[in-house]
């Protein structure tokens, strides 16, 4: 029971910290000190204390977008195990609920962006829709390969089936799925090379341009949901790479946390060493992720 609670409470408390690790790694690469690790918590608190300015063209959809997105992300989080800790909720077939909860959150973010009536936000929404259309089948291919590998249709079960021993027998499959999941992590969380989260030019933004008109508590929700989403994908990808089964609650939790922060650091390094891809080069990269996942599926099947 404690373990199930921990796998939800820890992300709720520490997801922004994992986000801050990315910033810190990037800052160090650029030779800067970087902002304090706790700054993101202060930003969220500051936004929560503010009022929101709403445009007269917007409707209830605009207000509902960030809230539904946060709620959907929280619900998806409850299916994700952390290292050796089991997920709060788990049943056969929950990968579909998991994937479509995330898709629903994104759908409402897109709707809220379109609701502003701004052409910039519409452009961002269109790009986000295209990329998520491409990323979703790749995510399913990767999860299907895992399901075939473990013979389990629940996210918790298929990740728990991976142990250090399964790396000895099925290393190619697991390595391919891990790489595919890491690419999907970058795409879903709008990180370089798919999207640049720090860009200030609306023409090149994808995710950031969709949330330009949100302010105050709405923006705090968006930021928080974004950190949770990063946590979700990082936890899934690293529980493949660093399987834990020590049996001790504390060690499992620490191992899981170490995995997530290592993934955040890896994202930071990726962002530091490469530039954002041209928009037309993004679909081939996602196709490469799909090729990795499909190859894993071929190797594991039959």
Partner 1 sequence: MDMISLAHAAVVPVILANLALLASSRLVTCIRLVALQGAVISVTPLIFESGPLTVHTAVLCAVALGLKGVVFPQLLHRTLRRVVVRHEIEPYLGYPLSILLGILGLLASLWLAGRLGVPAASYRSFAAAFATILTGLLLIVTRKKAFTQVMGYLAAENGIFLLTAVLAPGGPLFIELAILLDVFVAVFVMGIAIHHINRQFDCIDTDRFCSLKD
Among 173, 210, 211, 253, binds partner 1 (CB under 8 A): 173
- Asked if the bond preceding 193 is cis, omega within 30° of 0, the reply is yes
Among 137, 170, 215, 216, binds partner 1 (CB under 8 A): 170
Helix (H, G, I), strand (E, B) or coil at 82: strand
CA 165/CA 211 separation, integer angstroms: 44
What number of H helices and E strands is found in the chain? 11, 0
In angstroms, how far is CA 58 from the centroid of its own chain?
A: 28
Closer by beta carbon to partner 1, 36 or else 284:
284
Residue closest to 21 by CA, chosen among 287, 258, 281, 275:
258
Helix (H, G, I), strand (E, B) or coil at 42: helix
Which span sits near partner 1 by CB under 8 A: 31-39, 140-148, 162-170, 208-216? 162-170
Minimum Å distance from CB 302 to partner 1?
7
Which span sits near partner 1 by CB under 8 A: 12-20, 36-44, 139-147, 166-174? 166-174
Minimum Å distance from CB 289 to partner 1?
12
Burial of 283 (0-12, 13-18, 19+ CB in 10 A): middle
Minimum Å distance from CB 296 to partner 1?
9
Minimum Å distance from CB 79 to partner 1?
29
CA 232/CA 79 separation, integer angstroms: 9
Minimum Å distance from CB 194 to partner 1?
18
Minimum Å distance from CB 266 to partner 1?
20
Which span sits near partner 1 by CB under 8 A: 184-192, 197-205, 260-268, 280-288? 280-288
Which span sits near partner 1 by CB under 8 A: 12-20, 57-65, 87-95, 289-297? 289-297
Closer by beta carbon to partner 1, 175 or else 258:
175
CA 206/CA 211 separation, integer angstroms: 10
Which span sits near partner 1 by CB under 8 A: 84-92, 156-164, 254-262, 288-296? 288-296
Which span sits near partner 1 by CB under 8 A: 7-15, 77-85, 238-246, 284-292? 284-292
Q: Is 280 in the site for partner 1 (CB under 8 A)?
A: no
In angstroms, how far is CA 89 from the centroid of its own chain?
A: 19
Residue closest to 40 by CA, chosen among 228, 190, 237:
228
Report the half-sphere exposure of 288 (CA within 13 A, side-chain side): 8
Among 37, 161, 245, 291, binds partner 1 (CB under 8 A): 291
Q: Is 134 in the site for partner 1 (CB under 8 A)?
A: no
CA 74/CA 66 separation, integer angstroms: 12
Residue closest to 41 by CA, chosen among 76, 15, 6:
15
Q: Is 295 in the site for partner 1 (CB under 8 A)?
A: yes
* Letter string b/e over residues 105-137, b meaning 16 or more CB atoms within 10 A of that residue's CB: bbbbbbebbbbbebebbbbbbebbeebbebbbe
Closer by beta carbon to partner 1, 171 or else 274:
171
Minimum Å distance from CB 176 to partner 1?
7
Give the footprint of partner 1 on this chain (CB under 8 A). 168-173, 175-176, 284, 287-288, 291-292, 294-295, 298-299, 302
């Amino acid at each position: 029971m404690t373990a199930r609670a921990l796998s939800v409470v820890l992300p709720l408390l520490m997801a922004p910290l994992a986000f801050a690790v990315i910033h810190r790694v990037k800052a160090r690469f650029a030779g800067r000190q970087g902002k304090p690790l706790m700054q993101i918590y202060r930003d969220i608190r500051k936004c929560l204390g503010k009022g929101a300015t709403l445009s007269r063209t917007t409707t209830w959809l605009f207000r509902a977008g960030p809230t539904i997105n946060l709620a959907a992300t929280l619900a998806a989080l409850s299916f994700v195990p952390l290292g050796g800790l089991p997920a709060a909720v788990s049943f056969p077939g929950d990968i579909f609920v998991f994937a479509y909860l995330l898709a629903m959150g994104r759908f409402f973010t897109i709707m809220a962006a379109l609701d502003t009536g701004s052409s910039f936000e519409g452009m961002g929404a269109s790009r986000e829709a295209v990329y998520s259309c491409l990323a979703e089948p790749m995510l399913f291919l990767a999860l299907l390969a895992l399901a075939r590998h473990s013979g389990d249709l629940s996210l918790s079960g298929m990740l728990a089936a991976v142990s250090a021993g399964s790396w000895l027998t099925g290393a190619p499959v697991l390595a391919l799925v891990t790489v595919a999941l890491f690419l999907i992590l970058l795409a879903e969380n709008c990180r370089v090379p798919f999207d640049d989260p720090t860009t200030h030019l609306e023409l090149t933004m994808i995710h950031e341009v969709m949330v330009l008109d949100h302010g105050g508590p709405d923006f705090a929700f968006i930021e928080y949901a974004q950190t949770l989403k990063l946590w979700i994908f990082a936890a899934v990808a690293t529980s493949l790479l660093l399987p834990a089964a020590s049996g001790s609650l504390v060690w499992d939790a620490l191992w899981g946390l170490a995995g997530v922060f290592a993934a955040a650091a890896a994202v930071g390094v990726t962002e530091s060493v490469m530039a954002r891809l041209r928009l037309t080069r993004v679909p081939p990269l996602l196709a490469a992720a799909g090729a990795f996942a499909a190859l894993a599926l071929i190797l594991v099947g039959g």
